[in-house]
Amino acid sequence: MIIEIFFITFFLSAFFSLGGIGSATALIPAMDMFGFSFNFAKAIGLFVNTATTITASIMNIKRKVLDFKFALPLVVSLAITAPIGAYLSKFIPVEFVKGLFALFLLLSGSMIFLSKNEITKEYISPFTLFILGSLAGVVSGLLGLGGGSILLPILMILGFDTKKIAVTMSFVIPFSTFTAFLTYLSFTKMNWLVLGVAAIAAIFGGFVGNYIMHFHLNQNQIKKIIAILMYIIAIKMIYSLIF
């Protein structure tokens, strides 16, 4: 089982990092198939997202492609609100939130897939970014996902450069996923061997995916990949609601 977890985490982390987001949304049902509890699966997914995106962020910082002024308001807001969402997950019916989020992703994915490749926006106020990050933080903590799944389509629809968004999300996500992970850890029994194996696989996967994104994909290809990721996440959530 440990070997299977390693390779599943590696491939999922590599694929999702092509869009600058973590693989928790696909890894959570995979962990469920191995017989782990839902809260444990969410905790593993959050930690894997952290490991994947930290790896990508280190590479992005070395390449000097990260806009810190753009990322900072999102970092602060997500770090503050993600633990709130994780805590609320004990009281709020997650099924209702999943349904709304799945609908949002289907609509967002379609808009991204059909949109033109023009960059129409270069600036957005830090206050607006803080509000967007706060909303994304609560929802991501509630669902056990990285905030990138929520912020990516919004920023793309607003007209920002896709590669800039992907790079920003890789830097922002760890601040929400790790704080949310610590909250889940407070009420979830942890299997540290599984966590360690998944983290190592996520680091390697994040390195491979980030390298491919920067050196082998253009803006249009990244946009299409992100749209597909939105569809995958939405379908997964709808499936979990039905079955």
Lowest mean pLDDT among 1-15, 103-117, 222-236: 103-117
Buried b (16+ CB within 10 A) or exposed e, 172-199: bbbbbbbbbbebbbeebeeeeebbebbb
For residue 40, with 0-12 CB atoms within 10 Å meaning exposed, 13-18 middle and 19 or more buried, which class applies?
A: buried
The residue-averaged pLDDT of 32-41 equals 79
CATH topology of domain 2-242: Growth Hormone; Chain: A; (1.20.1250)
The residue-averaged pLDDT of 192-221 equals 85
| 143/155: higher pLDDT | 155
Q: Give dist(CA 161, CA 140) in Å, integer.
A: 23
Can you say how many angstroms the Cα of residue 105 is from the centroid of all Cα atoms in its chain?
A: 13
| Tokens 């910082």, located at residue | 61
The residue-averaged pLDDT of 89-111 equals 78
Would you give the DSSP letter of residue 138?
Answer: H
SS3 state at 186: coil
The first and second tokens of residue 175, run together, are 């601040």
- pLDDT beyond 70 at 116: no
User: How is the chain split into domains, by residue range?
Assistant: 2-242
Instruction: Give the pTM.
Output: 0.70
Confidence of residue 36 (pLDDT cuts 50, 70, 90): confident
Can you say how many angstroms the Cα of residue 155 is from the centroid of all Cα atoms in its chain?
A: 14
Residue 64, phi-psi category: left (phi > 0), alpha (psi -120 to 50), beta (remainder): left
| Tokens 């830097």, located at residue | 171
- pLDDT beyond 60 at 117: no
Span 44-58, pLDDT tens digits: 888 988 888 888 888
Average per-residue pLDDT for the chain: 82
Residue type, 18: L
Q: H-helix or E-strand containing 64?
A: none
The first and second tokens of residue 206, run together, are 């994040």
Percent of the chain at pLDDT exceeding 90: 10
Confidence of residue 134 (pLDDT cuts 50, 70, 90): very high
